[in-house]
Amino acid sequence: MEERKDSVKSVLEKVASPADLKGLSPKDRLALADEIRNVLMQVISANGGHLAPNMGVVELTIALHTVFDALRDKLIWDVGHQAYVHKLLTGRREFFKTLRQDNGCLGFPSRDESEYDVFGAGHAGTAISAALGFAAERDSRDGNEKIVAVVGDGSLNCGISLEGLNNVAEVTDDMIIVLNDNKMSISPNVGSMARYLNRIISTRGYNRFKASIRKIVRMIPMVGDEITHKISRLEEAAKSMFVHGVIFEELGIRYIGPVNGHDMEEMIRTFEVISEFPRPVVVHVVTEKGRGYGHAEAAPEKFHGLSSFDLSTGDCNSKPSVPTFSEAFGISLCALAEKHGDVVGITAAMCAGTGMAAFAEKFPRRFYDVGIAEGHAVVFAAGLAAAGKRPVVAIYSTFLQRALDCVMHDICLQDLPVIICTDRSGIVDDGPTHHGIHDLAFLKDLPNIAILSPKDGCELRDMLFASYSRARPVVIRYPRALAGSEKRDAEKLHWGTAEVIQNGHDLALWAVGAEVATAKDILKKLAKNKIRGTLVNTRFIKPFDSRLLLEHASKMPLATIEDCQTSGGVAAIVDSLLVNQKHHGVKHYGWPDSIVPHGTICGIREKFGLDAESMAKDIEAWIKAVKKK
């Protein structure tokens, strides 16, 4: 009897594709939701990933795939980290176990990974505009497949989302926007009256009855159109008293909701009904972030995206005794604000992630979280600076890409004293959409801006204070890494000068930021083979210490190491300085001008030969070849 029990497949094991959901009973669907949550907890606790967002969309995703045909229709995900359940239901159950691993499952939708991922997504706010593109293409050939955009995690307040909403009714009359409201954005459930109204207006009978009445009224000679217009105004006025969706109606998009995002049967009925609506629709679905795992329910921000953790306690498996760069930034920002009352802090929905939580708690009247709106954050900072404040903006490197025009137009051109701290510079385990390796390429050539990169937390503090004193645009970039345990008194940086950490005569090794630690490891390995190198902490990317670099290049071979694309980083600066200069050879270590895949940090570095062992061997062979010439 026991052997037979073990051989029985779970509901999830029977789901090889979304088509297998069509025949499931309500009881099977509930069991499936429980099984999916268990898989999410097991895999993410082992590999890391985005737990809370996906625990909240389990029933929603099952309902979507039950009603729509994911190969014919189009499901387009916003903030793609909420698509783990989608992956489990689209033939990737076993592959999902390799989440965030080398050559494994990407944590975001990827067109290269599956035909069910029709549009890649890593940054927020893209689903509505992308879905509108699919809808326009379908309409151009008179197709009839359904286009569904799933928007969530606060991305509706993103500028791109609002621009897309504004354009929907102008482009198509057949598109569905699912607004996943997990109480982290928009508004909470608005009560019994709204649910009652939703049951009325989302039935076939109501909408068909309303359409028939309109048709009959329009036939009344002379006054039909006027009466129809007045009926519409009365309907909208009545809805505005009870439903928080009138703004969508005014944009020409029908509002349905709020719907219980954990009641699969209600969602299935709702999606079946709205698929027949002859106009664009927003379905407001209320979910609970972290649902089904008590620790994530209690602390959804902590479990939004995290490394591996103990499933029983919710604690991270590794608790470093030294602070990360994010934590060091938060401590230093508080110290700067204590000394200078005009300092204010700004972040774009990343208070905890950027290390600003302590500042927000200590200086609540001087802290601004603008939501997922990086462009606004930068222009807002420019306005504060022009008005006399000293803003410090903390944004992940990958998200700063969205505010490039604002950095140039609103900060640099006006030479305003804004400090931008770019967290997560360098590669990360989230993959191509989140690698922070492109920022230098578009920042280093902007006018009036200085760019600094600290080797550790203490130097980050010194740079923050020095940047305040400069009173002009500054970017301080640092990785998602430990900031070192060394403690020292604050020192005054000599603006624009590099730091020589050790001297040697066989090689000059110029390292950028946290890569100083990597360079130290390389030089130790080279020393075993009697290769003595000079180690330079670059510190200032702009202004760059060209005098010292030219001096080193004239005496010995020179190599650079940076956690950035070499085509747009320090390597490019060095090449431009040496193009007409005599030197003993130059070599660069950094990321190529191509898509860097996802995986573990160590695995990616080894794949590209950017781990200390590989670089040491390559440099040793290079130095020996140079000496033979």
Please tell me the predicted confidence (pLDDT) of residue 627. 80
Domains of the chain listed by start with CATH number = 10-190+244-295 (3.40.50.970), 203-243 (no CATH), 325-477 (3.40.50.970), 499-628 (3.40.50.920)
Give pLDDT tens digits for 426-480. Answer: 999 889 999 999 999 999 999 999 999 999 999 999 999 999 999 999 999 999 9
Q: Which of 496, 472, 464, 58 is nearest to 290 (CA)?
A: 58
Candidates 78, 123, 162, 163; CA nearest to 438 is 123
Residue given tokens 């176990």 in the structure block: 97
Per-residue tokens: 216: 């009959």
- For residue 298, what pLDDT is reported? 86
pLDDT at 181: 84
pLDDT-based confidence at 296, cuts 50/70/90?
Answer: confident
pTM of the model: 0.86
- What digits encode the pLDDT tens for the residues 67-104? 999 999 999 999 878 999 999 999 999 999 999 999 99
Residue type, 535: L
Residues annotated as catalytic are 289, 374, 402
* Tens-place pLDDT, residues 238-247: 444 444 567 7
Pairing outcome for strands 540-542 and 450-452: antiparallel
pLDDT digits (tens, 9 = 90+) for 522-557: 999 999 999 999 999 999 999 999 999 999 999 999
Give 216's pLDDT tier (boundaries 50, 70, 90).
Answer: low
**pLDDT at residue 187 tops 50:** no
State residue 255 phi and psi, 5-degree precision: -105, 130
CA dist 118 and 134 (Å) reads 10
| 315-351 residues labelled b (16+ CB within 10 A) or e (exposed) | eeeeeeeebbbbbbbbbbbbebbeeeeebbbbbbbbb
> Position 580: which residue type?
N
Round to whole Å and give the CA distance between 583 and 557: 7
| Tokens of residue 204, six digits | 């076939």
Count Cβ atoms within 10 A of the Cβ of residue 603 and give its class: 0-12 exposed, 13-18 middle, 19 or more buried: middle
Instruction: Show the CA angle centred on residue 463, arms to residues 458 and 465, nearest 5°.
Output: 100
Kindly report the average pLDDT of the chain as a whole number. 88
Predicted local distance difference test score (pLDDT) of residue 236 = 47
> CA-to-CA distance for 427 and 518, rounded, in angstroms?
15
- Integer Cα distance of 152 and 77 in angstroms: 9
Q: Are 80 and 105 within 8 A, CB to CB? A: no
Task: Say whether pLDDT at 5 is over 50.
Answer: no
What mean pLDDT is predicted for residues 289-311?
85
In this predicted structure, the answer to whether residue 56 has a pLDDT above a threshold of 80 is yes
- Measured in whole angstroms, how far is the alpha carbon of residue 418 from the centre of its chain? 23
- In this predicted structure, the answer to whether residue 197 has a pLDDT above a threshold of 60 is no
In angstroms and rounded to an integer, the radius of gyration of the C-alpha atoms of the chain is 28
What was the pLDDT predicted at 360?
Answer: 96
More confident residue, 570 or 187: 570
Q: How confident is the model at residue 277 (pLDDT cuts 50, 70, 90)?
A: confident
